[in-house]
Amino acid sequence: MFDYRNNLKRILNNTAGDEKSLQNSLNAIKVVLGMTGEGESTPSSNKMDAKVVAQINTFLQGITKLIERPGDKNAKSTALGALHKLTFDHDIAANFGKQLGLLDQAIQNSEETSTTVNRKIFEAALKPKKAKARDYRKGRRYTVIRALKGADLINDNGEVVFEVNEGQIHDLNLKSGDIVESLPLANSLNEAEVLRVVGYRKLRSRDYDKIDDFKYGVVQGSPGNLSVSRNIHGEKLIINHKPVIVALDSSYYQNRNIHLEDGAIVDLAWYTGDVRLKKIQRVQFRFAGSMKLSNLGEFLRLRKKRQRQR
């Protein structure tokens, strides 16, 4: 080992009491100790604390998912939770505290984009529906009479007994003439739950009003000036053999928790032969959210894929 004693003696003997001399001597002592190989403590292991590594991994997973899906609540929660735990580490907080604070705010301010919303719509369209458990309940039989929105259930005497909401109509693809088994809803006096379709009977034309519809219509325009003239296939809205543009008043639907905006997808229905366009009342949303026209091609591709999977 290098004999450092004489060097230290000379340094200490030449050290004055002023600040500059003390600092110079300290630097010289550090150099001497470095020459001995003992100036630094035994190198610590480069291995990071296992808990810190785990939190970093969790944080990276959360932030990665948040980048893929801006505004995702689960991703925000995961990233923020891991980020807060990382700040408990003294070294990380000391070196990256300011940056972590800014990152915390950025994560909290992350919001859904139209692309994220459309992606959810596409995934929902592709997601196979879970097979419903067999329902062994027995109900009474009624005939369906389609309305602009929802449907009526009539008995053998032609009397309206119950109403059926639009959601059940779409789930079961009900049409006028379908014979169904139904039970009254416990929390409603005039609504019923359709258990199953058990048959069909041809109705006389005088027994019901014929209805035409326009599926997957695309809402276009700006707030206060919204309309529908085409569907997602590019087909024109035809009423009474003429192409028309139907104006939509978004304020009319606000109390129904329906949000109309440019790119929304809707269904329209009207009584066949009715020339008064104001009678077009039923707007049934197929999707929760808006879809930009630039993404309709991708939606159609995914919808066809789902149909093939069936």
**How confident is the model over 135-158, as pLDDT tens digits?**
788 999 999 999 888 899 999 998
What is the crossing angle of helices 73-86 and 90-108, to 10°?
A: 160
Q: Where are the beta strands (DSSP E) in the chain?
A: 140-146, 151-154, 160-164, 178-184, 192-200, 211-222, 225-231, 238-239, 242-243, 246-248, 264-271, 282-290
Share of the chain above pLDDT 70, in %: 66
Q: What is the pLDDT of residues 46-90, one digit of tens each?
A: 566 777 778 787 877 877 777 777 778 888 888 888 888 878 877
Task: For residue 63, count other CB atoms closer than 10 A to its CB.
Answer: 21
Task: For residue 142, count other CB atoms closer than 10 A to its CB.
Answer: 24
211-309 has CATH 2.40.50 classification: yes
Q: Cα–Cα–Cα angle for 10, 15, 17, nearest 5°?
A: 160
- pLDDT value of position 308: 60
Q: Would the pLDDT of 252 be above 70?
A: no
The CA-atom distances, in angstroms, between 29 and each of 11, 20, 198 are 8, 14, 98
Integer-rounded Cα Rg, in Å, for the chain is 36
- pLDDT value of position 306: 54
140-207 has CATH 2.60.120.560 classification: no
Mean pLDDT of the chain: 75
Domain segments of the chain as ranges: 5-36, 50-108, 140-207, 211-309
Kindly state the average pLDDT of the residues 25-33: 67
The CA-atom distances, in angstroms, between 94 and each of 8, 51, 60, 91, 97 are 35, 18, 20, 5, 6
Q: How far apart are CA 193 and CA 163, in angstroms?
A: 9
The answer to whether 140-207 and 211-309 have equal CATH topology is: yes
Q: Would the pLDDT of 193 be above 90?
A: yes
Task: For residue 195, count other CB atoms closer than 10 A to its CB.
Answer: 17
Helices (H) and strands (E) in the chain, counts: 8, 12
Q: Backbone phi, then psi, for 273, in 5-degree steps?
A: 85, -5
Q: Would the pLDDT of 301 be above 90?
A: no
Contact status, residue 172 vs residue 194, Cβ threshold 8 Å: yes
